[in-house]
Chains A and B, each alone.
Chain A
Amino acid sequence: DARVTQTPRHKVTEMGQEVTMRCQPILGHNTVFWYRQTMMQGLELLAYFRNRAPLDDSGMPKDRFSAEMPDATLATLKIQPSEPRDSAVYFCASAKDRGYEQYFGPGTRLTVT
């Protein structure tokens, strides 16, 4: 049963620290998305990649967030420096071009104190 995996599942860190979240998409999926979920904003897209190339990262605060796909099996989302307002659940999802469904990972719950 193929699944999207995300690590870590939970992260508590202090303001100003660097945070790196990792995602392993389902093998064979060529599109990867990063979404953020907060009580205030709901679910919003941060960035997404197709065939490892960034297609849209307009939802991401550019000064502190960065997203990369160093290879087809790994996507990373980095926050440096982190701030309390970054506290949220970060979801990774992957999809195949010719399918219709996006498969979500379990999420990383980030708390910045």
Chain B
Amino acid sequence: AQKITQTQPGMFVQEKEAVTLDCTYDTSDQSYGLFWYKQPSSGEMIFLIYQGSYDEQNATEGRYSLNFQKARKSANLVISASQLGDSAMYFCAMREGLDAGNMLTFGGGTRLMVKP
């Protein structure tokens, strides 16, 4: 069974608008971490934001925020005020357990394209 599901293979957004990228996860662990990574066309994996399962507040990092709905097992990424440089692949990932030394399981990714 898929542990991380990203249902949007591709999305368009108008520059300066906000966009939400969906991610649902499946785990029976109580302790886990959720991540979003950005992969631009250059290929590197850039860490964007992290949410721990015990964090009560939604994580925010600049223009990125993570809409964490634990009961629904969703961890959507919200990008506010989209920029052309936001065009990239975005991956949601989960780590079971809170130890950074545990492996990440990735979703299939969403390709975001920002229109000028």
Contact = CB atoms under 8 A, between A and B. Distances in A.
Interface stretch (A15-23, A40-48, A67-75, A78-86): A40-48
A11 to B, nearest CB: 14
9 contacts: A42-B108, A42-B109, A43-B106, A44-B106, A50-B101, A93-B104, A97-B100, A102-B47, A104-B37
A33 B45 CA distance: 14
> Chain B contact residues (Cβ within 8 angstroms of A): what range?
20 to 34
Contact of A100 (B37, B52, B107): B52
Interface string B35-50: 1010000011111001
Given A43-B91, A95-B100, A100 B109 contact: no
Interface in B85-116: 91, 93, 98-101, 103-109
B106 A96 contact: no
Residue among B37, B100, B101, B108 with most chain A CB within 10 A = B101
